[in-house]
Amino acid sequence: MTDAVRGSFPIRYRIIRKPVKHPRLELWGSELRIIVPKNGNPLRVIRENRRWIIEQIEFVRRARSVADRVKLIPRTRRKFKALVRKIAEEYSRKLNISLGDVRVRKMKSCWGCCSKSGNVTINSEAQYLPENLIRYLVYHELCHLIRWRHDRVFRELIRKAFPNCEELELELQAYWIKLNEKRLQIGEPVS
C-alpha cells in the first residue's frame, strides 16, 4: 500500500494484525509497518504517531539519496566474522562487560541483536559495510548489555564513543536500502 502522508513523498506501509497487547510502528527499510492488536484501529495509531511518521519519512528520504552514493565493500564471510569478533572483544574490554558468543547470521529486520547473557549477533549483510559502521553496530549491541532500552542513558553511552551517531544511523539506513535493492535485482525476497 502506498499513501502520501506529507507532500509528494510517498511511503509504503503495511498494516499487520497480530495477537499483541499494544500497537507499535516499525520502519523496515522504506516501508512503515503498523502492527496492531487483532481488534485495533490502525488509523488511530497513525493519527497518534503522525509526527514520528513524518520524521521517519524525512529520514528515509534522506537515506534514499545517500543510498545512491554508498559503495558495498567486498569482504569474505570469514574475514567479516574475524573482524566482528576482534571489534567485539576490543569494545567489551573498553566497556568492562562480559562477552558471550559472537555470531554472524542472516537477519530479516535488523543489523544486530544481543542477549542478556552477553551473546552478540550481527547480520551477515553487514559484511558489505565499511568498518566504521561495523564498529558502530557492534558497539551499539554491546551497549545494550549495559542499558537494555534506547533511552537517554543508552544514547549518551553511544554518543560518548560515536559523537556522529545520527550520521551513522543515516548511513546504515542507506545501506539497508541499497542491499534491499541489490536483492531485488537478483530476484531474492526483500525484507
Query: Any idea where the domains of the chain sit in the sequence?
Result: 2-67, 77-185
* CA gap 38, 84 in Å, rounded: 40
Model pLDDT, residue 127: 97
The model's pTM is: 0.81
The whole-number pLDDT of residue 70 equals 94
**What is the reported pLDDT for 10?**
59
Work out whether the CA dihedral 7, 169, 63, 32 comes out positive or negative: negative
Task: Check residue 107 and report its DSSP letter.
Answer: -
Q: What are phi and psi of 96, to 5 degrees?
A: 55, 50
In this predicted structure, what is the pLDDT of residue 108?
84
Q: How many CB atoms lie within 10 A of CB 172?
A: 18
Neighbours of 154 (CB within 10 A): 16
Longest Cα separation, the chain: 49
Please give the pLDDT value at position 183. 64
Torsion of CA 133, 138, 140, 143, to 10 degrees: -150
What is the distance between the alpha carbons of residues 90 and 186, in angstroms, rounded to a whole number? 36
Given this model, what pLDDT does residue 128 score? 97
Instruction: Give residue 41's pLDDT.
Output: 92
The per-residue pLDDT for 181 is 79
- Which residues of the chain carry a pLDDT beneath 70? 1-10, 29-30, 183-191
Provide the grid cell at 16.
Answer: 499487520
Report how far residue 102's alpha carbon sits from residue 99's, in angstroms, rounded to the nearest whole number: 8
**Whole-angstrom Cα distance, residue 36 to residue 41?**
7
Q: What pLDDT is attached to residue 8? A: 43
Specify whether domain 77-185 bears CATH 3.40.50.1370: no
